[in-house]
Amino acid sequence: MSRKYNNPPIVEALCEFQFVPSQPSDMTIPGLLYEKIKEEFPERRQQMGFGVGIQPKEGGMTEQRFELAPPRMQFLRPDKSALVQVGPDLLTINYLKPYPTWELFKPLILKNLEIYQAITKPKGFKRVGLRYINKIEFDEHPIELTEYFNYYPFIPTTLPQMHETFQVRVEIPYEEGHDRLLLTLASAIPEKPDVLSLLLDLDYIMAIPERIALNQVYDWIEKAHTTVENAFEACITDKCRSRFGEEK
């Protein structure tokens, strides 16, 4: 049974689907999708920027690179708690803070995926990712990372043990290397002065295009969530958990 917290550190959860291109980009898709979801997501806005590309390489490794992302349309709830994003061969469902529960987020993912598939008839998945971004803040600092985390940067004893900003990232293969867990712990810019902010970012991805069929994604998403949830708990200590108010 998974742990539940009264004050979970999740600031954003998202599920992203990249589809195998099967036809030229259809600019009518965002409008068709909006007509189906506008009652729940009435606000529209266009988003442009940079994205992160994951390219499989020989030997089971992946290459991460920054690239110019194509424009996408965002459809938001009135309270900005959740949004749906659509772009060329792309669908993303985001849930922002306060994150509810997986039992509420998963149906939102599947509902909008089914609507998108009914409109576009995609050929297959190029990439699927389930990502949880957690922000953990400390009024007291500096802190001893080992008291709160089981995953942290290691500094050789011959170097000074005090440090400032940092980022540690590892890729863990799953499913015989077909999937990846991208695990990152990093310092973040605090929203308030005299506060230490850390990000624990867990991103479980299908790294091999078309590894699963369209009708197998439901089981994949559930497995991805279980993996991310277990990884989160493995990365933190009981002292860290106590900050989130675990439900008994």
Closest CA to 203 of 120, 132, 135, 115: 132
The identity of residue 68, as a single letter, is L
Do the beta carbons of residue 77 and residue 41 sit within 8 Å? Answer: yes
What gap in Å lies between CA 233 and CA 231, rounded to an integer? 5
DSSP for 43-72 reads EEEEEEEEEEEEEE-GGG-EEEEEEEEEEE
The model's pLDDT over 144-202, given as tens digits with 9 standing for 90+, comes to 899 999 998 888 888 877 777 889 999 999 999 999 999 999 999 888 888 899 999 99
pTM of the predicted model, to two decimals?
0.88
Domain ranges of the chain: 14-123, 130-248
| pLDDT tens, residue by residue, 59-81 | 544 455 555 666 889 999 999 99
